[in-house]
Amino acid sequence: MAATRRGRHGVITRSAVGPGSTEAFIIIAIATILLTRGYLQLTGYPQIGGGNLHIAHALWGGAFMMLALVIGWMTLGFGTRVLCVVLGGIGFGLFLDEVGKFITKDNDYFYGPAAEIMYILVVVILLGARMVRDFRPLNAVECLASAASIAADGVARGLARRRREVGLVLVERATELGADADDADRIRGLLLSADPASDRLHAAQKRAIALIPGFLRSPRWIPIVGWLLVAGSFLGVSLGTLGVALGGYFYEDDHLKVDLEGFNVPSVILLVTAVLTLAISLPAMVARRRTDDIWPLRWLRNAALVFTLLTALVDFATEGFGALINLSIGLFALAILSYQLDATTRALLPAGPVAAQTAAT
């Protein structure tokens, strides 16, 4: 019997809230890189130390990451994990910002491809977290273990209402998937009996969302962004195919400039990106007229993600940090679609614990 139970556990046990922490970690790391670069440029790149000493900020990054690990090992509670994510993200950003020094013989902080290397590492982490989360739904063991982890937080520091609801939903889901009823009852009892705690983080998140102008939260943005994705990707497929077929083409006069890349790595990446974006976004936009299901909106969000990440990969390789302008435009479209997807999901679900669990994931 014990062998059978162990066999159901699988190779790893995923956390229901782990991907969200990973994404927050990466966002904090990116913000740290941008703030560090901006501060150093404004202050003339000062150095900490004297004489022959120079304390690189990668060392501070290592110290922050060490603190995150030690605090995570030594303490319990949801607040502790939030602190670890913040410290770890800051540390990783400070470390990653100096990647140019680590891969060049002359310790070149301004090494051109450093921006691309940073970007690739960030994308790999984000896509890895999304794959771990999305390749299959959480099973009974994972739902129950995640609920037990939330219950342990309640024993240690109390539970905010939203966290309590998330734990209860996970218990119910685990029961539906065949988890042991006695185990589920014990964890449910811990969740219900935990002392109440403040929910300042969730309240701050709601206040931040409320600051978004109303016109940006309008569902009218969905067809605008969706058809722009279709049109942009179709144009990319057409021009990319033409450029590869002609082996490159350049024309310029007083009113017009046309520059089509031939067959090279950046042009192939852009062509593949356009094909994938068109293959995802066009069926989604057509389906939106025929169905009220949520999958077309989810496909549009995925199309925006593919377009933003892969296009930015080429931009960072060719333009360095100048690619942040195009990346910001892509992230704006992605944010619009993600918000509308979340709002639509909430509207399709009953109020209460299920909605809270959806917000958490």
E-only strand ranges, the chain: 249-252, 257-260
Share of the chain above pLDDT 90, in %: 23
Label residue 344 by pLDDT band (50, 70, 90).
confident
E-only strand ranges, 62-176: none
- Residue 289 makes CB contacts below 8 A (sequence gap 6+) with none
pLDDT tens sequence across 269-302: 778 888 988 999 999 999 988 887 888 888 898 8
pLDDT tens sequence across 117-160: 887 788 788 878 878 877 788 899 999 999 999 999 999 889 98
- Which is higher by pLDDT, 229 or 2? 229
CA gap 94, 291 in Å, rounded: 47
Residue 303 has pLDDT above 60, yes or no: yes
Q: Which two tokens stand for residue 122?
A: 């960030």
Amino acid at the residue 149: S
pLDDT tens sequence across 203-251: 777 777 777 777 777 888 889 989 998 998 898 888 888 877 777 767 6
Please name every residue paired with 251 in a beta bridge, in sequence order, or none if there are none: 258
CA gap 22, 84 in Å, rounded: 11
pLDDT at 64: 96
CA gap 218, 344 in Å, rounded: 12
Whole-structure pTM value: 0.71
Residue 359 has pLDDT above 60, yes or no: no
Cα-based distances in Å from 230 to 303, 307, 337: 9, 11, 14
pLDDT at 285: 93
CA gap 301, 226 in Å, rounded: 9
**Best-predicted range by mean pLDDT among 164-168, 305-309, 329-333, 349-353?**
164-168
Label residue 357 by pLDDT band (50, 70, 90).
very low
CA gap 296, 300 in Å, rounded: 6
DSSP per-residue letters across 157-220: H-B-HHHHHHHHHHHHHHHHTT--HHHHHHHHHHHHHSPB---HHHHHHHHHHHTS-GGGG-TT
Average confidence score pLDDT of the chain: 81
Q: Which long-range contacts (CB under 8 A, 24 or more apart) does 336-342 make?
A: 336/216, 336/221, 336/222, 336/225, 337/222, 337/225, 337/297, 337/300, 337/301, 337/304, 338/301, 339/212, 339/217, 340/219, 340/221, 340/222, 340/297, 341/294, 341/297, 341/298, 341/301
Per-domain residue ranges of the chain: 2-11+138-211, 18-134, 215-348
Q: What's the half-sphere exposure (Cβ side, CA atoms, 13 Å) at 7?
A: 4
pLDDT at 44: 81
pLDDT at 346: 66
- Which is higher by pLDDT, 319 or 106? 106
